[in-house]
Amino acid sequence: MLISANRIRPAFLASVTSADEAHVALSAGADIIDCKDPSAGALGALPAHVIRDIVARVGSNVCVSATIGDLPSDPSVMVNAAEKTAATGVHYVKAGFFGRDDPRAAISALGRARLDNARLIAVLMADQSPDFEIVRDLAKNHFAGVMLDTAEKSSGALPDIVSLQKLASFVSLAKQHGLVAGLAGALRRHHIAQLAALNPDVLGFRGGLCFDGRASALDVARIAGIRDEISAYAFADLDKQTQRQALRI
């Protein structure tokens, strides 16, 4: 099961730390289960056996992704981590690019990695001045998508760090190169309408789903609230399309 681009609404990605959390998130309406250890960094990696447990619990009901950790842009280090993560059976392997290191060598190496049926998703850090030009390199090296996230969650939510105009440009650039476009980074329910209007394929959440910070337990009510907000945006957008079509008749 793969993420489809140009959906009526963005897919709701929920980051989880265990098979039990995956079950909770899926039951409350998440579209994508993302395996991540928030106590180990922005893209902290879970142990392989935990990821396998999550894949087994979720089954074929939903797409599963997993992060490879907050790693340097070292080709051999990233490829080794990506191949081990792919071996757990996830659909997507998420590789983050941090700091000012040139990631192009690592991107090229990841594009040649042995990932079985898993696809690659790059994650760029909005609070570290990423070069959006590497989106072209991602497409050339067979990445399936790219997400914009934040490295330091205490710095604020993604829309506080990057203007909506720049976020729109990022989404547009990714789509122009045939990549799934995702947005994440300390997002909350009240961010959904403004971000969904930019037409991303994925909106990612962790802290906004938890009782007290991103390392705490999931709150079913918050997950359901975000699901409902994303769904409400889709219905509102469809209603606008219907109105526009009626005006043309």
Q: Are 95 and 68 in contact (CB under 8 A)?
A: yes
Can you tell me the distance from the alpha carbon of 97 to that of 114, in angstroms, rounded to the nearest whole number? 20
Non-local CB neighbours of 235 within 8 Å, separated by 6+ positions: none
> Active site residue: 94, 140, 166, 175, which one?
94
94 tagged catalytic: yes
As a dihedral over the C-alpha atoms of residue 110, residue 101, residue 44, residue 87, rounded to 10 degrees, the angle is 10
Q: In the 8-state DSSP scheme, what is residue 208?
A: G
Can you tell me the distance from the alpha carbon of 21 to that of 23, in angstroms, rounded to the nearest whole number? 5
Can you tell me the distance from the alpha carbon of 207 to that of 218, in angstroms, rounded to the nearest whole number? 9
140 tagged catalytic: no
Query: Known catalytic residues?
Result: 36, 94
